[in-house]
Chain A
Amino acid sequence: MEMLRFCTVGSVDDGKSTLIGRMLYDAKSIFEDQWDAVERASENRGDSYTDLALLTDGLRAEREQGITIDVAYRYFATPRRKFIIADTPGHIQYTRNMVTGASTADLALILIDARHGMVEQSRRHAFISSLLGIPHFVVCVNKMDLVDWDEAVFEQIRAEFTAFASRFHVADITFIPVSALEGDNVVDRSENTPWYEGATLLHHLEEVHIASDRNMIDTRFPVQYVIRPMSGEHHDYRGYAGTVAGGVMRPGDEVVVLPSGFATTIESIDTYDGPIEEAYPPMAVTVRLTDDLDVSRGDMICRPANQPHASQDVDAMVCWMTDASTLRPNAKYAIKQTSRVARGLVRDLRYRIDINTLHRDQEATELKLNEIGRVQFRTTLPLFADEYRRNRGTGSFILIDEQTNNTVGAGMVLSTELTG
C-alpha cells in the first residue's frame, strides 16, 4: 500500500477542519467514542449541528477559541492508500505552522469559500505551498451549497486561481466543488453538480500519481551515523548509515565521498533483513565502501559525474519562525542541512516578499515572525546542497539560534553560487 502525505490549508471559516472531519467520517475512519465525544462537546456548546471541526482541534485552547493553532496530524487509510494529514492553520499569524506542515507534504489541499472566491489568504496559501515545493495541488471550492451549486462561481474561481498560480511553479492543480458540511463530492459523488465530471476528493487522493515526485536521478546519500560494532564476527565492520535522499544506489556503483572527493565503489548495501540490490528514497540503509576511507557524519556520498553544489555561499528563501528576534544582516546562526551542521552568517537580505501580493521589497532590513525573504549566507563549512526545487531533501535547512537553541528559520536553497 502506498502512502500519501497531504496538508490542508485554509482558515477556520473555510471549513477546513469540517472537511477533514467529513472525510474521516464518510471514509469510516472515525471511531464511535471520538464521534460521541464530539457530539457531546457540540451539545455542551449549544451548537445546532455536530461540529466536525472538534475532531481535529486537539488542544484545550483551540477548542475554547474555535481555531486551529498548531499543526495536527491525522491518519486514515482506505484499501488503496494510507494517508497522513497535516492539518495546518491558515491565519497569517500561523504561517510558520503552515510552512511546517507543508514541508513534508506530497499534496496541498487548499480550501476556498465559494461565497468569497479568491481572497488574499488563498493567494498566500497557494504561494507558500508552491514555495515549499508541494508537487500537487487540490483546490476545494467549499460551501457550494451556499451559492446554489452555481457552475459559473466555480469556473470563476478556477480561472482566477489558475491565473495567479501561473506566476510561480506548480506542477499539477485539480479543482473540486464540494460542500464539507453536507459531504458533496468529498467521498460520495454529489447529485448537485451534474456539470462536474471530475473525481470526488477522496477518489482523487487515492489515485493521484506520486511515485514520480521523488528525485530518482541524482544519487545523494548523506552519512548520518557510522556503524562500527568492533565486536565478535563484525570486528572489522564499518558501515555508513543514512537515508537515501536522491537517486538509486546499487552495489558496484562508482561513487565519490564529499568533502574529501575520494572515489571508490559501493561494496554492499546492508540492512537488518539482509543485503539489498538497490536503495532509493526514502530508504534507511547502511552502505559499505570498497576502500577504507575516512568518512564521517555530515559527509555526502554521490556519483562522480553528478555531484551537489559544494559551497560556502548559499542563496535561499527563508521563512522566519520566531517572535523572539528578527533575521538581520550580520547575524549568525547554526545551520542544519541533511546531517551537516555549520554556522552561517547572514550576508544580505536581498528582499522580503509580501506573501499576499508577491511584491518584493528590496528596502527591507529584517525578517520578522512569519515573514519570508531571500537571504544570502556565508557558512563556516561548505554545504552539499541542491536547489530545493530539484531535491527537497538536500535543498532544505533549518536555522537554529545558538543562544536559545530554538529553531528560528526554515530555508530553501535557490542556488549555492553567489549571484547578482
Chain B
Amino acid sequence: MSDDAPVLRTYELSHLRQLESESIHIFREVVAEFERPGLLFSGGKDSIVMLRLAEKAFWPGRIPFPVVHVDTGHNFPEVIEFRDRRAEELGVKLVVGSVQEAIDAGTLVDETGPRATRNRLQTPVLLETIERHDFDAVFGGARRDEEKARAKERVYSFRDEFGQWDPKNQRPELWNLYNGRHRQGEHIRVFPISNWTELDIWQYIEEEGFEIPSIYLAHERPVFERDGMLMPTSPFLSPNEDEPVFNAKVRFRTVGDMTCTAAVASGADTLEEVIAEIAATRITERGETRADDRFSEAAMEDRKREGYF
C-alpha cells in the first residue's frame, strides 16, 4: 500500500465529467456484451450528445454500431440535413425506418384532422425496424428528469418479444453492474444518459463546443397559438380558422415531430443565452413544448408499455 505517495490534491471530477464517464461505461458495456446494438437518433440535442459520447467511448476506433432513425416524414428539414451530415462525418451506417413508407404500404393508417400526429405511429415502425435488423440492444437518449414514468426506468430496460416495458417487473439494477441477458426475440433498450438533466445536456454542449441544429437557437418563424403553446406552421400542420398565424422570434427546447413540437418565444441566439434561459425556466421541457404528453397523467407510462422509446 506504499506505492502511492500521499496526495495533496482533491482529484475532483466535475459533475459533467462524472456523467460523461458513466455514459461511456454504459456504451462500452453494451458493445462488449451484445451482438447487434443500434443507436436511436432523432437529431434532437440528446441524441447529438449520445453520438458524441459514443464517439468518445470507442475512440480512436469508429462507432461500432449503426445509427437508427425513425422518420415520421414530419421532421424538421434542418434535422434531417444534420442527421445525414453527422452520419457521413462519423462514418457510421444510417438505418432509416419510415412511417411514410408504412402508411403507403397500407400497414399503418395516418391520423387525420387538425390535431393529427404521427407520434403513436412511430412505435410500430420502431419495433418493425428493430425486428428487421435483429437489434438486440437499442440505445436511446431518454433522460429520467424528463417525465415521471421515465424517472422509474432502468438504464437497461428489458423489452419482451412485443417490445413492451413492464414497469412493475423491472430487473434490479445495482452499482454499475448491468445485466443484458435476454432470449432470442427479446431486446434491451439502453439509456446511457439516464442521469443527465436538460441543463446538464446544454452545459455539456457548450463545454464541448459542438454543433447543434440551428432550430435550437432563436430565429424568426411563422407560428400560431394552440393550447397556450406556439406551434410552427408546416406542410403537416395548419392552423384552424380561429388560430391566426404570426411571425415570432422563437427557439425549440425539444425537437420531435413538427406536428407536436411547440416553440418557445425567445431571443436567445447563442448557447450561453439558451443556458441562462433554461437555468431560469420554471416549466419542464415536455410540459412546455410537447403536445403528446398532455393526454393524461400517465400518457408516457402508457406509451412506454406499448414499446415507445
Contact = CB atoms under 8 A, between A and B. Distances in A.
B197 A393 contact: no
B290 to A, nearest CB: 11
B151 to A, nearest CB: 5
Max chain B Cβ within 10 angstroms of own Cβ: one of A234, A272, A410: A272
Interface string A238-267: 010111000110000000000000000000
Contact of A82 (B15, B57, B175): B15
Interface string B271-309: 000000000011110011000000001100100000000
A3 B17 CA distance: 10
A216 B4 CA distance: 9
B21 A34 contact: no
B171 A407 contact: yes
Interface residues of B, number: 66
Contacts of B14: 1-2
B37 to A, nearest CB: 12
A243 B23 CA distance: 11
A198 interface: no
Contacts, number: 194
A282 B282 contact: no
B145 A75 contact: yes
A367 interface: no
Contact of B21 (A70, A243, A337, A400): A243
A71 interface: yes
B206 to A, nearest CB: 14
Contact of A393 (B2, B58, B175, B182): B175
Contacts of A69: 168
A405 B148 CA distance: 27
A37 B297 contact: yes
Interface in A388-409: 392-393, 396-398, 400, 405-407
A2 B12 contact: yes
Chain A: interface residue count, which band? Answer: 35 or more
Contacts of B174: 99-100, 103-104, 396, 398, 407, 410
A219 B3 CA distance: 10
Interface stretch (B27-35, B78-86, B106-114, B214-222): B27-35
B284 A241 contact: no
A284 B24 contact: yes
Contacts of B31: 225
Interface string B18-62: 111110110011011000000000000000000000011111111
A336 interface: yes
Nearest to B21: A284
B171 A248 contact: no
A305 B179 CA distance: 33
A297 B151 contact: no
A152 interface: no
A218 B1 contact: yes
A410 B175 CA distance: 10
Contact of A248 (B4, B61, B172, B197): B4
Contact of B3 (A82, A284, A305): A305
Contacts of B144: 73, 75
Nearest to A209: B10
A227 B61 CA distance: 7
Nearest to A244: B21
Contacts of A337: 177
23 contacts: A2-B15, A3-B19, A31-B287, A58-B152, A70-B152, A73-B195, A74-B151, A104-B175, A104-B176, A211-B11, A216-B7, A219-B4, A231-B62, A237-B60, A237-B61, A243-B25, A321-B172, A339-B29, A396-B177, A398-B179, A400-B181, A405-B182, A407-B172
Interface of B: 1-4, 7, 10-15, 17-22, 24-25, 28-29, 31-32, 55-62, 144-145, 148-152, 167-168, 170-177, 179, 181-183, 194-195, 197, 199-200, 281-284, 287-288, 297-298, 301
Interface of A: 1-3, 31-34, 37, 41, 56-61, 63, 69-75, 77, 81-82, 84, 96-97, 99-100, 103-104, 211, 214, 216-219, 224-225, 227-229, 231, 234, 237, 239, 241-243, 247-248, 270-273, 278, 280, 282-284, 286, 297, 303, 305-306, 321, 334, 336-337, 339, 392-393, 396-398, 400, 405-407, 410
Q: Lowest 9 CB-CB distances: which A-B pairs, in order?
A: A33-B287, A58-B148, A405-B181, A272-B56, A3-B15, A284-B24, A229-B61, A284-B21, A103-B174
